A and B are shown apart, each in its own frame.
Chain A
Amino acid sequence: MLGFGADRLRADMNRLLALLFHQGVLDEQFLQLQQLQDETSPNFVFEVVTIFFRESEKLLRNLRGLLLDRELSDYKKMEIHLNQFMGSSSSVGAKRVRNVCVAFRAASEQSNRAGCLRALELLEHEYCYLKNKLHELFQLEQQRVMAAGVRYPIQG
């Protein structure tokens, strides 16, 4: 029963992943990330994504602050933040977040404040979506590991 649960959980995970790929939320870089995870670092993906969330939230906060704080926004600084965001999102394979970053950067290059604000909204939305989905994924993963963990002693 429990083993069956683990399998089902794995299927759920795969379905979720497939959905995310299909929606273009994630790309193959995420798969590569998963490939990097093995016995020596079993929580690699989780760690990286957690760092990504932490960094991203900081960056989003900064971006919002920059855009709302003053009348004349500091576009230079914004671009640096966006480059950072793009780098980290492409590393985890968050494709849609990265694409929004590209648009955001284009808007900030043109000093288009309205465009920047729109892009920020979109970015926050995409980010939240990604975060929720990844959390869901990790929860499934956790459950699966637990289920598998329960199974081992039985088999053993």
Chain B
Amino acid sequence: MGLKAQSHHTVAVRLNEQLAATHAISFYREKRAWFPRVLFCWIIFMAGVSSLIFRNMDADNMVRRKEVLESSCEQRARMLQDQFSVSVNHVHALAILVSTFHYYKNPSAIDQETFAEYTARTAFERPLLSGVAYAQRVVHSEREKFEKQQGWTIKTMEKEPSPVRDEYAPVIFSQETVSHIESLDMMSGEEDRENILRARATGKAVLTRPFSLLKSHHLGVVLTFPVYRTNLPPHATAEERIEATTGYLGGAFDVESLVENLLGQLAGKQAILVNVYDVTNSSDHLIMYGPRYPDGDMSLAHESKLDFGDPFRKHLMICRYHQKAPTSWTALTTAFLWFVIGVLVGYIFYGAVMHILKVEDDFHEMQELKVRAEAADVAKSQFLATVSHEIRTPMNGVLGMLGLLLDTDLDSTQRDYAQTAQACGNALIALINEVLDRAKIEAGKLELEAVPFDLRSILDDVLSLFSGKSRQKGTELAAFVSDKVPKVLIGDPGRFRQIITNLVGNAVKFTEQGHIFVQVHLAEHTKSVMAAKANACLKRGSDEVEVIASQTQFNTLSGFQAADDQNSWENFKLLIADEEFCSDASDNWIPTGEDSESVTLMVSVEDTGIGIPFQAQDRVFMPFMQADSSTSRNYGGTGIGLSISKCLVELMGGKINFISRPKLGSTFTFTAVLRCQKNASSDLKKSPLEAIPTGFNGMKAILVDGKPVRAAVTKYHLKRLGIIVEDASSIKMAIGALCGQNGHLRSGNGKRPDMILVEKDSWISSEDGVLPIRFIDWKQNGCMLLPKVILLATSISTTESDKAKAAGFANTVIMKPLRVSMLAACLQEVLGMGKRRPQGKEMMKGSALHHSLLHGKNILVVDDNMVNRKVAARVLEKFGANVECADSGKAALMLLSLPHKFDACFMDIQMPEMDGFEATRQIRLMERKENEKIKTREVTYEGGSKTEWHVPILAMTADVIHATYEECVKCGMDGYVSKPFEEENLYQAVSKFFESKPI
């Protein structure tokens, strides 16, 4: 349940993380909503800026345009004015001419002809004047005389004889251009009359308002100068002037054509419209030039004053542009470009920010997904672990019940059914355990132990496990450990065994004939030997290789070809030879240097099975993948084992790989980094079952075996027992050696061999009877110290064994696979030195083992839950233990105060007041204090055997997976059993502590 609680917890944590992530994301989203608005504002701002720029530039243009207009207007006005005044001056000069030559001279020097000619020739001086004329002042009294003198009557403007008036002003001289006005009375025209009156009063040039001229019907003005009879004083009064007036000189300005001419001389006349007004009457502007209703650009105009020399008349020139101000393309383009640049810059920033946001969003999303995926992965592993555990519990029930059922009276069919069910259940449990392992590895919860162990005994165990199967199939199963490998290694024996078991299991499963051969070497050593061999190979050349290849029998363990020829005798010999050379040193293998703390082992498992198809080789280590996944395959299994092995090997810091050739077999090789024990074997808890008897030390044996690899394996096992072995490739040779010894002592070890071990193959291949006859001879001769002859066999039939007996072999046939304990037992039996049969593990079965394990032990059960206490106590009692109970941590402390009689303590973890962890800590503290005292000899116990207090404390918990185990170890517990009690679990936990104390 604790597991579930924890997963709840982790899920909650994940949820919190997710919440935090969503917070961050919503913050970004909020910000994100602002960015389009910011962009919009920026665009508006840029539009404003660019319109400002446009207006600025446009205003500059307008100012310039205005200036141009002003200057050109002024220029026109001055030119007009200048031209005008030049003309006026000339008319003035004409007036003086007339007065001088017409009146001061007598008779007059001027007549019409002269005047016309003169004026015509001086017309260039008066370009603005269409013509000049002189009119004489004639009062009514003098009219008749004047008319007679001139020969025509005075006419009005309408060319009719003038009516009677006070005075007249008939034209007497005229320029040819205006000859049509001769004899016309100027006083009859309204404008002219007014002009005349004003001119003679002021004595200056006066102008009429603009009016349509007589002939041309152009607009024009008439300029009038008075001509006086006498030279007047400068400040003469108006009356004096009127009195002195004798005539008037007038000229008509055809303003329209004149201005046109004038403007024609200037550049850009089309661009600028000019209007000239008479503004004497300020309310009514009289137009002198230009269109009456001016078109063109009305927005801009410039007025320039014109002074034509008549103070009474005021004139004005107004200039306009003909066309409206053209739109300023430069300004527009510039502004637009600014706008575009601004918008682009804004968009780039916006895009960048949006991209960053998007990337951030994606990142957060990915993170969230990652968290989810991880959570899912952990959840999956936890689920697997939980489910596996949950399945295991009822399965244990099922198996237990089946076990009990098998103990009852059953007929053979029922027994068969029950056994099948039990086997299936066991397989299922094994599978579940594998899944659980895998889940644990994936969840990162698998931790390797680091305890000293003996690799060789582990190999023996594994071989014994598969010996039955291999014997059934008739395959040879053998293990060989290099002498260089230290006796005691530190690592996780359970996991190491698991890997080897898995590999050997696979090998056994897939091998029908041949052999399965497990080798352990030091990785460095193997490498160096292989390198040396490769060199040698190169030297030897190829012909010998061919010879080897053509051999039908291969130099392997069983003579079958193996996938990896590394293990053939050629290499093996080198490895062993190297070992024998320094075997003395390797026995007490003393590490030197820094690296020596750790050793890298290279383990290879070679089989001659069906091999792995090439196309399946790359997914061998993938979980649940099998070489042949078809439903009709020949071999069962889940395919999870190799992947677990791979994980375990990697946890051990090694690598696993394989070489496989279909139909030939496979060789799996893995390396593992283990530490080695410095003070070898002092600490190793060896069970008595596996302890190697020392009684064989120094014995001698002759081994007859045609196959060198197999011989090496046998030698290895015999060596472990301390037996000195000599080789003989055939029985004859062995006998020869024996005879030689019989006759005379050989130097060195003059001892007679104690035994002769004969491989079954060698015996069968040798001629029948040869050996036995000799032996029988010896027997009859009464040789006392005859060596025992022992047959080694993988499998043997009854006829064969009878034959062997008849042939003189000792009673025992040593069955392969060889194991030290088994070998020792057999030899003891043969040699008659065994007082006691070593107890094989096979002898103890089922709960009998448990009974013996716990029998007579004093055990304390601590649990606050009465029911649990009762049940636990009962289970333990059933195993033969004496149980005492305590209902709290405190009570347990009281009971365990030193000295006490308990051999072990089962402690519940969850208890009120003082929980199991705390209680254990206190107990351990108490023990430590006491141990100090023992060391300093303050306290001694009877018998002095008690040198250290350490009561094994096992936690009872319903929760086997997560951190509990570490916690248990941390506070000084020795292990745990799951609740409710399961026999198997209990056995595993308890066996660690009681194995070393046999009954």
Binding site for B on A (CB under 8 A): 27-29, 31-33, 35-36, 38, 40-41, 44, 47-48, 51-52, 55, 80, 83-84, 86-88, 90-93, 102, 105-106, 109
Query: Is B530 at the interface (CB under 8 A from chain A)?
Result: no
Nearest CB in chain B: distance from A136 CB, A: 20
- Which residue of the partner chain, among A41, A47, A84, A86, contacts B1 with CB atoms under 8 Å? A86
In the complex the two chains form, is A33's CB within 8 Å of B871's CB?
yes
Known contacts A36-B875, A44-B874, A92 near B867 by CB under 8 Å: yes
Of chain B, the residue at the smallest CB distance from A52 is: B867
Known A36-B878, A38-B878; further 11 A-B contacts with Cβ < 8 A:
A28-B398, A28-B400, A32-B980, A44-B874, A48-B870, A55-B865, A86-B958, A87-B865, A91-B868, A106-B8, A109-B8
Query: Is B607 at the interface (CB under 8 A from chain A)?
Result: no
Nearest CB in chain B: distance from A32 CB, A: 7
Interface string of B381-408 (1 = CB under 8 A from A): 0000000000001100110110010000
In the complex the two chains form, is A32's CB within 8 Å of B397's CB?
yes
- Which residue of the partner chain, among B4, B398, B866, contacts A102 with CB atoms under 8 Å? B4
Known contacts A29-B397, A91-B979, A84 near B871 by CB under 8 Å: no
In the complex the two chains form, is A87's CB within 8 Å of B401's CB?
no
Alpha-carbon distance between A43 and B454 when the two chains are bound, in angstroms: 47
With a cutoff of 8 Å between Cβ atoms, the chain A residues found around residue B874 in the complex are 36, 41, 44, 48
**Contact residues of B between 963 and 980, Cβ < 8 Å to A:** 979-980
Alpha-carbon distance between A96 and B865 when the two chains are bound, in angstroms: 19
Interface string of B923-953 (1 = CB under 8 A from A): 0000000000000000000000000000000
Alpha-carbon distance between A51 and B910 when the two chains are bound, in angstroms: 19
Interface of B is mostly: helix
With a cutoff of 8 Å between Cβ atoms, the chain A residues found around residue B398 in the complex are 28
With a cutoff of 8 Å between Cβ atoms, the chain B residues found around residue A91 in the complex are 865, 867-868, 870-871, 979-980
A-B contact pairs, 21 of them (CB 8 A): A27-B394, A28-B394, A28-B398, A29-B980, A33-B871, A36-B871, A36-B875, A36-B878, A51-B866, A51-B870, A84-B864, A84-B865, A86-B1, A86-B958, A87-B863, A88-B865, A91-B867, A91-B871, A105-B1, A109-B5, A109-B8
Of chain A, the residue at the smallest CB distance from B5 is: A109
Total chain B interface residues with beta-carbon distance under 8 A = 30
In the complex the two chains form, is A48's CB within 8 Å of B4's CB?
no
Binding site for A on B (CB under 8 A): 1, 4-5, 8, 393-394, 397-398, 400-401, 404, 863-868, 870-871, 874-875, 877-878, 908, 910, 912, 958, 979-981
- Which residue of the partner chain, among B397, B401, B870, contacts A47 with CB atoms under 8 Å? B870
Of chain A, the residue at the smallest CB distance from B982 is: A32
Of chain A, the residue at the smallest CB distance from B908 is: A87
Alpha-carbon distance between A17 and B400 when the two chains are bound, in angstroms: 18
Of chain B, the residue at the smallest CB distance from A102 is: B1
Of chain A, the residue at the smallest CB distance from B396 is: A28
With a cutoff of 8 Å between Cβ atoms, the chain B residues found around residue A40 in the complex are 877
With a cutoff of 8 Å between Cβ atoms, the chain A residues found around residue B871 in the complex are 33, 36, 48, 91-92
- Which residue of the partner chain, among A31, A55, A105, contacts B397 with CB atoms under 8 Å? A31
Nearest CB in chain B: distance from A106 CB, A: 8
Alpha-carbon distance between A28 and B395 when the two chains are bound, in angstroms: 9
Known contacts A29-B980, A105-B1, A109-B5, A55 near B401 by CB under 8 Å: no
With a cutoff of 8 Å between Cβ atoms, the chain B residues found around residue A29 in the complex are 397, 980
With a cutoff of 8 Å between Cβ atoms, the chain B residues found around residue A80 in the complex are 912
With a cutoff of 8 Å between Cβ atoms, the chain A residues found around residue B8 in the complex are 106, 109
Nearest CB in chain A: distance from B867 CB, A: 4
Alpha-carbon distance between A90 and B394 when the two chains are bound, in angstroms: 12
Alpha-carbon distance between A149 and B616 when the two chains are bound, in angstroms: 68
Alpha-carbon distance between A47 and B980 when the two chains are bound, in angstroms: 18
Known contacts A32-B980, A35-B404, A80-B912, A87 near B867 by CB under 8 Å: yes
Nearest CB in chain B: distance from A101 CB, A: 9
Known contacts A28-B397, A90-B979, A90-B980, A48 near B867 by CB under 8 Å: yes
With a cutoff of 8 Å between Cβ atoms, the chain B residues found around residue A90 in the complex are 958, 979-980
In the complex the two chains form, is B5's CB within 8 Å of A32's CB?
no
With a cutoff of 8 Å between Cβ atoms, the chain A residues found around residue B912 in the complex are 80
With a cutoff of 8 Å between Cβ atoms, the chain B residues found around residue A36 in the complex are 871, 874-875, 878
Alpha-carbon distance between A109 and B8 when the two chains are bound, in angstroms: 10
Nearest CB in chain B: distance from A115 CB, A: 14
Alpha-carbon distance between A38 and B8 when the two chains are bound, in angstroms: 42
With a cutoff of 8 Å between Cβ atoms, the chain B residues found around residue A28 in the complex are 393-394, 397-398, 400-401
Alpha-carbon distance between A106 and B404 when the two chains are bound, in angstroms: 37
Alpha-carbon distance between A25 and B851 when the two chains are bound, in angstroms: 32
With a cutoff of 8 Å between Cβ atoms, the chain A residues found around residue B397 in the complex are 27-29, 31-32
Of chain B, the residue at the smallest CB distance from A30 is: B397
With a cutoff of 8 Å between Cβ atoms, the chain B residues found around residue A93 in the complex are 980
Nearest CB in chain B: distance from A10 CB, A: 15
With a cutoff of 8 Å between Cβ atoms, the chain B residues found around residue A48 in the complex are 867, 870-871, 874
With a cutoff of 8 Å between Cβ atoms, the chain B residues found around residue A55 in the complex are 865-867
Of chain B, the residue at the smallest CB distance from A81 is: B912
In the complex the two chains form, is B401's CB within 8 Å of A31's CB?
yes
Of chain A, the residue at the smallest CB distance from B981 is: A32
With a cutoff of 8 Å between Cβ atoms, the chain B residues found around residue A109 in the complex are 5, 8
Nearest CB in chain A: distance from B985 CB, A: 12
Alpha-carbon distance between A13 and B297 when the two chains are bound, in angstroms: 123
Alpha-carbon distance between A40 and B874 when the two chains are bound, in angstroms: 10
Q: Which 3 A-B pairs have the closest CB atoms?
A: A28-B397, A88-B867, A87-B865
Alpha-carbon distance between A28 and B875 when the two chains are bound, in angstroms: 15
Alpha-carbon distance between A48 and B875 when the two chains are bound, in angstroms: 13
With a cutoff of 8 Å between Cβ atoms, the chain A residues found around residue B979 in the complex are 87, 90-91
Alpha-carbon distance between A31 and B4 when the two chains are bound, in angstroms: 26
In the complex the two chains form, is B868's CB within 8 Å of A87's CB?
yes
Of chain A, the residue at the smallest CB distance from B868 is: A91
Known contacts A28-B398, A80-B912, A109-B8, A87 near B958 by CB under 8 Å: yes
Of chain B, the residue at the smallest CB distance from A110 is: B8
Alpha-carbon distance between A27 and B958 when the two chains are bound, in angstroms: 16
Of chain B, the residue at the smallest CB distance from A53 is: B867
Alpha-carbon distance between A52 and B398 when the two chains are bound, in angstroms: 25
Of chain B, the residue at the smallest CB distance from A83 is: B910
Nearest CB in chain A: distance from B469 CB, A: 31
With a cutoff of 8 Å between Cβ atoms, the chain A residues found around residue B866 in the complex are 51, 55, 88
Known contacts A32-B980, A41-B874, A88 near B401 by CB under 8 Å: no
Alpha-carbon distance between A105 and B8 when the two chains are bound, in angstroms: 12
Nearest CB in chain B: distance from A84 CB, A: 6
Of chain B, the residue at the smallest CB distance from A87 is: B865
Of chain B, the residue at the smallest CB distance from A88 is: B867
With a cutoff of 8 Å between Cβ atoms, the chain A residues found around residue B4 in the complex are 102
With a cutoff of 8 Å between Cβ atoms, the chain A residues found around residue B404 in the complex are 35
In the complex the two chains form, is B394's CB within 8 Å of A51's CB?
no
Of chain A, the residue at the smallest CB distance from B878 is: A36
Nearest CB in chain B: distance from A52 CB, A: 5
Nearest CB in chain A: distance from B873 CB, A: 10
With a cutoff of 8 Å between Cβ atoms, the chain A residues found around residue B864 in the complex are 84
Alpha-carbon distance between A135 and B910 when the two chains are bound, in angstroms: 30
Alpha-carbon distance between A90 and B982 when the two chains are bound, in angstroms: 13
Nearest CB in chain A: distance from B882 CB, A: 13
With a cutoff of 8 Å between Cβ atoms, the chain A residues found around residue B958 in the complex are 86-87, 90
